[in-house]
Structure 1
Amino acid sequence: MKNKFKNISVIVLVIISIISCDDYLEITPEGKQNSENYFNSQQDYEDALIGVYDLLGTNYLNHILGEIASDNSLCGGERANDVIEWQQIDDMIHTPDNNALRNVWKWMYAGISRANYIVEFQNKTTFDRKQELLAENLFLRSYYYFQLVKFFGDVPLYVDRRITVPESQSIDRAPKSEVYTQIEADLNTAINNLPWQQSQPGRATKGAALALLGKIYLYQEKYNEAANAFNKVISSGQYELVSDFSTIFLNNNENNKESVFEIQYSIGVEGGDYGQLEYSEGNVAAGFMSPRFTGDKELWGPYDDGNTFSPVVQLLVDLYQPGDTRLEPTIFDIEAYADAHPGLTYATRNEYTGYYNHKYMVYQEANLPDLRITHGNNYRAIRYSDVLLMAAEANLLATTPLNNPQDLLDLVRDRAFGDTNHRIPANLENVWAERRLELAGEGHRFFDQVRTGKTSTIPGFQSGKNEVFPIPRIEIELAGNRWCQNKGYATSTCSTE
């Protein structure tokens, strides 16, 4: 069932949410119900929580930017100025006026504001599922804050309630260490109140919260704590690798046994358009990253065409060894596909390489005006193989290892090649290289490069600057110009330089 968390018509009338400071509205709906007297039943809380989940749909942008900012792919698109803000990020010439980065900022804070709405009124009503619901809410807030820290470093931190416009102009950016401390506290609370399994796919679980907590620790180089969190996921027995890698990202294999946390998208429901993609119910990333087919549509099957963004570079293709079963499911070779399908034609667009992200492509599965923004392929946000590789890294660096890094790496390599003949020593370089091959196309590469210091292969990357993105200029202005810009992006004396 694809329409997992989309019934938000009730909540959009009553949530006061800060999408960004200038989007703050105090709305008194017609009738008796407003945001101050809303939470009167369990259903009210459940509807509000759906509103918090709903912002996960905007993760398509974080996914795309995590690839094009890395050395895995170019920006591509229909032409050199197609979505110019993405082109700038690909070339590492982005500025504080980059609208894509502002969207990341305001959409993540929209999710946080909705979560804080529940926190503000969490004691108003009691019901049996309340602690679990509040735990799901804290997990989601942690997910949004983690995205912000990855992109921007120090960010404003508010956790107990919504804030007003005047208050927003008196809040400073919190050091990312403080944001991480808050995330850790929230996730530890959530872990204690979440089940290992949910009856509805896509909801937060204990395993998802532990995996995210382990990742938070890893980013802070707290390796003992990370190893401990990952060990709890591994020893739980809740997850295992899908034996056939080629099936992991198919629409008919969503929420499989390897999925620790998966963002749910809907098939055939538009919701938004190219001017308002944040409202789209489908996985927009799939449409943007798919190749452009031309000619007889009968020959395209099972695929449909897309906007040719994020073409994969040849270097990544060459890194896959013969026999690695991950290559074809990860990277779509359009020239090989055309050779195997006589009569098939396609367009070579901007920065054409011949390779596309096969994990997230558009399939002919809906009959709406534009399949590119209605594709229902769920985003596999945390996979078990990701956990195994993070655990291998953490245990290599921990003073008190809890798992054998070699065993963890072997599990991933053995699945990739279908045998035990391609094992390699479990050292940091090999684990990091394996992450690139295993997780290519999933939006993790740039942030892995930054945290491990492996950024020299990113064209245009400037050390000491591009590890984080600039705070959107308009957000600084809306905050009363009290925030300093990130190093290297400042145009005034107020900077962190």
Structure 2
Amino acid sequence: MKKIIARGAILSVLLTGIGISCKDQFLDVAPTGQLTVSNLNSLNGLEGLLIGAYAQLNGRGYSQTASSTNWVYGSIRGGEANKGSNPGDFNAITPFQRYEVLPNNGELNARWNNMYEGISRANAVLRAIANASSDVTAAAKQRISGEARFLRGHYYFELKRTFNMVPYVDETVDYGTGIEKVPNNVDIWPKIEADFRYAFDNLPEVQTAVGRVNKWAAGAYLGKVFLYQQKFTEAKNIFDQVIANGKTSNGTKYALVTNYASLFTGENEVNSEIVFVTSNVANAGSSDAASGDLNLNWPYNTGPAGPVGCCGFFQPSFDFANSFRTNANGLPIDQAQANGAYDRPENELKTDMGLASSEPFTPDTRPVDPRLDHTVGRRGIPYLDWVIFPGQDWIRDQPFGGPYQNKKYVYTKAGESRLADVSNWTKGWTGINVNLIRYADVLLMAAETEIEAGSLTKALEYVNMVRARAANPINFVKLPNGQNAANYVINPYPASAFATKEAAREAVRFERKLELGTEGHRYFDLLRWGLAAPVLNAYLAYESKKLPGGFAGAQFSPNQDEYLPIPQTQIDIQGANVLKQNPGY
């Protein structure tokens, strides 16, 4: 799958295997650059169209913010990180962290266009497969249509949770007849659900290539769609099946990998935790094959992706880093942060804010969850296998972005030669695959459904499976002398922590923040829990004291900011009588 995607543009894939005849009809030349229906309806043609639909997962051809990794839409808007860098660089992102996005923001239009491009490509597969040529077996039709509908469901899911009411176009719409003006007046949850149900019922249990979705990826996603609609019983039933039977692309049963860091560095790309993943490759002749959507999110100056001075974006927030503090029993020091109790000195990590790298600094010696140092780059702690993180020397503008730097999906120094793409201006393009759904996410979603429609005991079991992996000493970051880099203390929850639904909800929600931090889930979780306004306004009040340049005066407005505005460009194209703007914009 990676090798196919690495060929670049979809056209080059579609042309593969198309022969040229040397008969006397050679003078009957088809128009240059056009593909015939027979080309597209062959097995090679259908596979090429399908690869094109997969390719949009990374937002290729649009913006770094447009992709399915959701570092802006899920993590920055969820309070896990800020834009970072400095105030002037890519300042179209700053309104996202301040909840001040206007309909004319170009990043909104890039997001919209990318998702509908993916939908268009999935529809093209389904349209072509209806008249498939004789080399396409019934099994191939079933598999390809299942993958296409999975991808279409995914792109519509992203549009739904970003903009809420969006137009729905499927393969039955003839784009050449001017019917492309479709209103956004129908809730599309049933359509999304139907696509994932079809994929679950028709995809094989095992695919032969990493990156191709299978039955169990479809089941996990279907359960997620149920969860977003608060259909807890339906979600529990499907998660039960995925947990009991789910398999990865190589036939391995889903399981948590032992080494947490290996999920994000590219050293262990084929593993038992992959459910749904983007597929990337470095140095394939074009950076289009690499993961360009995360290419800004690297330490500034001489660190990885240097020495060109790139880029320092996506800096973890003070609140997010504080969340990893634990008590002497190895439990979160303040679960109530999930409901907005952020401003407590006993929760704050010691930082080097305001200190030059040449000035002495000793990291916090109080207990912390070890996942902190696989997620947040901080002064005095090894940054993967590069160096001890030097603090301000690797931060572009500390007063604007703070003292921390992103750590997930950064290649190791040992893996640089394989994973850093050097075909563009920065080595931030990489061959690291990015997990969109992984097994820990499935377990924690399943825990939510057990709380609401099943068993608190089972929910406790799932959460403690995730915590037990984090507690494995292999996940304790080490200093060069072999000692632990910090005071890592983490333990399973006791049964008393799940004695009531309310307490269990708090624990699961906070565990998602810790386990899945900076992976693009947080904002959407807060939204579906109905906690976006109280949690994010508490976050803004706290963070503005630390970084007034980026947060002073920012506020989340209920009944407006839950969803982003429909891009004004799209309303101008379609007409205000076709596309209705979201409330408050």
Query: Please, what TM-score do these two structures have when normalized by structure 2?
Result: 0.73
Alignment of 1:73-472 (within 5 A): 73-77=81-85, 79-125=86-132, 126=134, 127-128=136-137, 129-164=140-175, 167-168=178-179, 170-176=181-187, 179-236=188-245, 238-269=253-284, 271=286, 280-294=288-302, 300=303, 306-320=310-324, 321=326, 322=367, 324-334=369-379, 336-337=381-382, 340=388, 345-349=393-397, 351-363=400-412, 364-365=416-417, 366=420, 367-398=422-453, 400=454, 404-418=458-472, 421-424=491-494, 425-426=497-498, 427-455=504-532, 456-458=534-536, 459=540, 460-472=555-567
Distance change >3 Å, CA 159–CA 325, structure 1 → 2: same
Corresponding pairs, count: 461
Aligned partner of 1:140: which letter? L
Cα distance in structure 2, aligned partners of 1:32 and 1:151: 35
Match of 1:133, SS state, is helix
CA distance in 2: counterparts of 1:111 and 1:10, whole angstroms: 12
Unaligned runs of 5+ in 2: 16-28, 247-252, 327-366, 474-489, 499-503, 541-554
Asked whether the 8 Å contact 2:266–2:411 carries over to 1, the reply is no
**Which amino acid letter does the alignment assign opposite residue 414 of structure 1?**
A
CA deviation string 1:190-242 (max 9, x = no partner): 11221222111100111110111011000000001111111111001520001
Alpha carbons 2:243, 2:254 under 8 Å: kept? yes
In 1, the alpha carbon distance for the partners of 2:171 and 2:38 equals: 18
Shift of 1:35: 5.4
Distance in 2 (alpha carbons) for counterparts of 1:342 and 1:428: 38
Task: After superposing the two structures, state which structure 1 stretch, 203-212 or 451-460, moved more.
Answer: 451-460
Q: Provide the C-alpha distance between the structure 2 equivalents of 1:134 and 1:55, rounded to a whole number of angstroms.
A: 17
Who is 1:72 aligned against? 80
**1:7 equivalent in structure 2:** 7
CA distance change for structure 1 residues 270 and 354 in 2, over 3 Å: closer, same or farther? farther
1:493: which partner in 2?
A: none
Q: Which amino acid aligns with 2:47?
A: E
- In the alignment, the residues of structure 2 paired with residue 413 and residue 184 of structure 1 have an alpha-carbon distance, to the nearest angstrom, of 31
Work out the CA distance in 2 between the residues paired with 1:114 and 1:340.
45
Is the contact made by 1:8 and 1:50 (CA closer than 8 Å) also made in structure 2? no
The equivalent residue for 2:582 is: 486
Counterpart-to-counterpart distance in 2, 1:259 and 1:369: 28
- Call closer, same or farther: CA 1:384–1:14 in 2, change over 3 Å: closer
Task: Let me know the Cα RMSD of the aligned residues.
Answer: 2.9
How far apart in 1 are the matches of 2:491 and 2:14? 59
Residues 117 and 162 in structure 1, CA contact (< 8 A), matched pair in contact too? no
- Structure 1: how far apart are the matches of 2:455 and 2:36? 49
Q: Deviations over 1:305-356 (max 9, x none)?
A: 6311111112211211235221111111145449847899434326232212
Could you tell which deviates more after superposition, 183-192 or 1-10? 1-10
Q: Is the 8 A contact 1:286 1:361 kept in 2?
A: no
> Distance between the aligned counterparts of 1:14 and 1:46, measured in 2?
8
Output the CA distance in 2 between the equivalents of 1:373 and 1:269. 15
The structure-2 alpha-carbon separation of the partners of 1:35 and 1:226, relative to structure 1 and needing over 3 Å to count, comes to farther
AA aligned opposite 1:348: R
Structure 1 unaligned regions, length at least 5: 16-27, 273-279, 295-299, 490-497
Cα distance between partner residues in 2 of 1:344 and 1:263: 32
Cα shift readout 1:357-408 (whole Å, capped 9, x = no counterpart): 211225533444433442122111101000000000012112x569811111
AA aligned opposite 2:162: F
Q: 1:344 to 1:67 in 2, by over 3 A?
A: closer
Whether 1:54 and 2:49 are equivalent positions in the alignment is no
Cα 1:281/1:302, change in 2 over 3 Å: closer
Is the alpha carbon distance of 1:69 and 1:301 closer, same or farther for their aligned partners in structure 2, counting shifts above 3 Å? closer
- Aligned equivalents of 2:456 and 2:149: distance in 1? 27
Between stretches 161-170 and 220-229, larger displacement belongs to: 161-170
Name the SS for the 1:156 alignment partner: coil
Q: Distance in 2 between matches of 1:422 and 1:401?
A: 18
Write the distance in 2 (CA, Å) between the matches of 1:452 and 1:182: 22
Deviates more, 1:214-223 or 1:161-170: 161-170
Task: Please identify the structure whose Cα radius of gyration is greater.
Answer: 2
Deviates more, 1:162-171 or 1:470-479: 162-171
Whole-Å separation in 1 of the counterparts to 2:573 and 2:305: 47
- Farther off after superposition, 213-222 or 478-487: 478-487
The CA distance in 2 between the partners of 1:120 and 1:335, in whole Å, is: 56
CA distance in 2, matches of 1:284, 1:40: 31
What is the SS of the residue equivalent to 1:82?
A: coil
Shift of 1:302: 9.7
Q: Structure 1 residues 306 and 67, CA, compared in 2 at 3 Å: closer, same or farther?
A: farther
Preserved contact between residue 284 and residue 373 of structure 1 (Cα < 8 Å): yes
1:396-427 Cα offsets, whole Å, 9 max, x none, are: 112x5698111111111111223994315341
* Secondary structure of 2:178 counterpart: helix
Question: Contact 1:246 / 1:325 at 8 angstroms: preserved in 2?
Answer: no
Q: Secondary structure at the match of 2:462?
A: helix
CA contact (8 A) 2:379 2:389 kept: no
SS at match of 1:457: helix
Mapped partners of 2:170, 2:389: distance in 1 = 55
14 and 250 in structure 1: CA distance in 2 versus 1, 3 angstrom threshold: closer
Tell me how far 1:148 sits from its aligned partner.
0.4
Identical aligned residues as a percent: 30
SS in 2 for 1:74: strand
**Amino acid of the residue matched to residue 150 of structure 1?**
R
